[in-house]
Every structure is written in C-alpha cells, then in structure tokens.
Amino acid sequence: MADYRIVEVTTKRDLMKFIKFPEKLYRNCPQYVPALRSDQVKSLTSVAPLKYCTHKMWMVMDGRNVAGRICGMINPRYNERYGTKRARFGWFDTINDIEVARLLLGTAESWAKSMGMNEIHGPLYYNTMGKQGMLVEGYENVPPFNCLYNFPYYNDFVTALGYEKECDWLQYKLKADQQVPDKMVAIADRLMERYKLTEGDIDKLKHDKGLVKEFFRIYNDSFSETVYNFVPFNDDEIEEEARESISRLDKRLCCVLLDENKEIAAFGISFPTLSKALQKARGKMFPFGWIHFLRALKKFDTIDLMINGAAPKWQNTGVSSVYHNIMARKYRESGVKWAITNPQIETNKAVNVWDRYEHELYMRRRCYVKTIE
C-alpha cells in the first residue's frame, strides 16, 4: 500500500516537479497537450492576477515520486463582485487513486476554510482568461492549446468526494470553409452600409496602446453580463494581455469592426491551432521547440476561435452577422478547413449562432462546486 504524504510547494525545485508531473502522467495519452514549462512558471509565480489573488500549491508524494498536484486560489475581486466567500482550485492532476485526490482536495478545502471561505469550485484559473473546466465529454479529441485535458476518472473522484456540477461549457467543431448563407451575406452588406461600419487595421490595433485599451474596455463591457463567473480585467491584466496576446494577432484570422466614429463595434479573434506544436515541443521552446511553432503558424488547416463579441450598444443589432461574414471570407482565403470554438457556457443563447453552420459537439467541460464544512 502506498505511503502518501502531502507537501506544500515552496521551492523552485518543488515548482518544477509540480509543473512536470502531468508530462509523466499523460506520457502515453495522444490527446494530451502539454503547456510550455516557461509559461507555467510565470503563471504560478508572477502573472498580473497574482497582484491581488492569493494562492498555494501542494503535491502528494509517493516516496520520491509525485502522485498528484493542486493549486488553491482566492480571487477577492470575484468574491466582492458576486457576494461570495469562494476559493477555487486548479492545476488538479492525479494518478488513478481516489486517496490521492482526497488528500489534494481536502488540503485545498482546509486551507480555504482557514482563509474564511465557505465554498470551493473549479477547476478554474485566477481570472476568466485561463484554462478552466474539467473535461466530461470529448476525451477522444485533442483540445485547443488554451484548454485543459484530463482522464475520465477525475470526474469520478470529485463527485465521490462531494462536488456537484456548477456549470458546463460547450465547444464545437465547425467546417470553417463552408459558405456563409446568402441571406446572411446580404444582411451583413446592408448593415455595413447602414451603420457605416469599416474593418479596422489589425496591425494598427497591435501597436496602438489607446486602441488596445479601448478593445479591453469593450471586452469587459461585452462579457460582463453574459460570461458566467466573469471578472473584468484590471489595468495590470490588460497591459499583460496586450503584451502577450494582442501582439500575436494574425490579420488573416482576426477582424475588428469600427463604427463611423472609429470606435470598436465588434471583434472576432482566432489563432492557428498550436496543440500539435505543443505536443511535439514537449513543454520546451528550446532548443528545437520553436521550430514546431513556426511551422504551425505558417501552415495550418485548423484554427481556434478565441473571442467573438460586440460592444454593448451594438449587441442585438445583427452586427454579429457582419464579422462572421468577414471571418468566413478570411478563413476561405487562408485555406482553413476546421474551427474549434472556445468554451461557452451552455446557458448562453449565443451558442445558438453555431446552428447556422455545419457543426458537432467537440468537448464539454464542467466546473464543480462544494460547500466547505
């Protein structure tokens, strides 16, 4: 019988063990997509949300071997916004032994209770942008680079340990090169003319700090009431995302609509899928991992739909048909065949937009919640 013990991650050496554990756990799993180790170090030590979030990391050790890991987090901005006392857990990975899961979750729960929390939910990230949601359907598929993958037994363990469903997110696979319905094209053309909309310059957006700030103001306002558990980005998070995400936008796959006052009306952002490149890189950019990324960015037939939205005053005006039409044209011109949507809450009526296209359910993700006694 294994002699498990829980240890808190406090040293750089422990941190690397924490980060590398899934690489060993999923070594023979063809669907698993490893994160870059350098990105994980930053996410766990120095990202912008850690200026206001509290977090701790633990591992379960079996002798010298890691058997599981977990990160406990408290986002005070979330609790203030929703009037809750919730902790969250993430970076949850375990061997196929419920006793390891019991130690991990129990430790995170005890810590959360000591911090004055009465609930814990997850798997989540510090804010809305990171990886979240435990996979419950679609295990046969390779996830987008910004999404989690896990073995089916994870769900068995958390439910056996008292966790219940809080919400589900859905992801779809679409034929990206399919023709937009003629009716939708006609509507899009009329709306462009009626509202004097123009397509913005993506390269200008990437280098215009004022426009980037405007983009994230619209992002906050657009998703504030529609995205479950959403917490608006603060200035530090906006600056970080602008530096790391906006700078990488590809004008072949992105669209920003401007109104007659040159203000952002709507947007659609996609990236070439990097999942296979990450698998080949095996968590390391150097010495040769960068080659796989360069190839993935140059030649691709599948993309990840990251963010689609409209400014509040443009919602329910039909403007979505405009940027969907533009994006579809760009996809055909770029030779894109398939698109994987970002996770969307199952209760959000916006998911119905995919009914206009040939699509299939690709993955279902779940957030679990538990009252801390």
- What's the pLDDT tens digit per position in 37-79? 999 999 999 999 999 999 999 999 999 999 999 999 999 999 9
359 domain residue, yes or no: no
304 domain residue, yes or no: yes
Q: Could you tell me the residue range of the domain that residue 131 belongs to?
A: 4-170
Q: Which of 269, 271, 272, 267 is nearest to 200 (CA)?
A: 267
Query: What confidence score (pLDDT) does residue 206 get?
Result: 83
369 domain residue, yes or no: no
20 domain residue, yes or no: yes
Here the CATH number for the domain that contains residue 226 is 3.40.630.30
d(CA 111, CA 95): 22
Indicate whether 165 and 181 sit together in one domain. Answer: no
Query: What confidence score (pLDDT) does residue 235 get?
Result: 92
Q: Which of 233, 197, 229 is nearest to 215 (CA)?
A: 233
226 domain residue, yes or no: yes
With beta carbons less than 8 A apart as the criterion, state whether 67 and 94 touch: yes
DSSP 268: E
For residues 18 and 251, the model is more confident at: 18
Lowest mean pLDDT among 24-33, 248-257, 345-354, 359-368: 345-354
227 domain residue, yes or no: yes
Query: What confidence score (pLDDT) does residue 310 get?
Result: 86
d(CA 50, CA 70): 17
Indicate whether 247 and 203 sit together in one domain. Answer: yes
- What's the pLDDT tens digit per position in 309-326? 888 888 888 888 888 888
d(CA 284, CA 277): 11
Indicate whether 31 and 153 sit together in one domain. Answer: yes
Q: How confident is the model at residue 129 (pLDDT cuts 50, 70, 90)?
A: confident
d(CA 370, CA 373): 9
With beta carbons less than 8 A apart as the criterion, state whether 165 and 366 touch: yes
Indicate whether 51 and 127 sit together in one domain. Answer: yes
Residue that terminates a domain, selected from 142, 170, 198: 170
Indicate whether 210 and 319 sit together in one domain. Answer: yes
What's the average model confidence in pLDDT over 76-84? 97
Indicate whether 76 and 186 sit together in one domain. Answer: no
Query: What confidence score (pLDDT) does residue 352 get?
Result: 65
With beta carbons less than 8 A apart as the criterion, state whether 126 and 353 touch: no
What is the domain count for the chain? 2
Does residue 351 surpass a pLDDT of 80?
Answer: no
Stated length of the chain? 373
352 domain residue, yes or no: no
Residue that terminates a domain, selected from 115, 137, 170: 170
Indicate whether 215 and 318 sit together in one domain. Answer: yes
Indicate whether 329 and 222 sit together in one domain. Answer: yes
For residues 209 and 278, the model is more confident at: 278
Residue that terminates a domain, selected from 170, 196, 227: 170
d(CA 324, CA 267): 9
Indicate whether 182 and 143 sit together in one domain. Answer: no
In sign, the C-alpha dihedral spanning 100, 101, 102, 104 is: positive
Does residue 25 surpass a pLDDT of 60?
Answer: yes
Residues 6+ apart with CB under 8 A from 328: 176, 178, 179, 180
Indicate whether 148 and 10 sit together in one domain. Answer: yes
Indicate whether 151 and 181 sit together in one domain. Answer: no
Indicate whether 214 and 291 sit together in one domain. Answer: yes
d(CA 248, CA 146): 15
Query: What confidence score (pLDDT) does residue 116 get?
Result: 98
- What's the pLDDT tens digit per position in 200-238? 888 888 888 888 888 888 889 888 877 888 899 999 999
130 domain residue, yes or no: yes
Local structure of 165: helix, strand or coil: strand
For residues 180 and 150, the model is more confident at: 150
Does residue 1 surpass a pLDDT of 60?
Answer: no
With beta carbons less than 8 A apart as the criterion, state whether 130 and 43 touch: yes
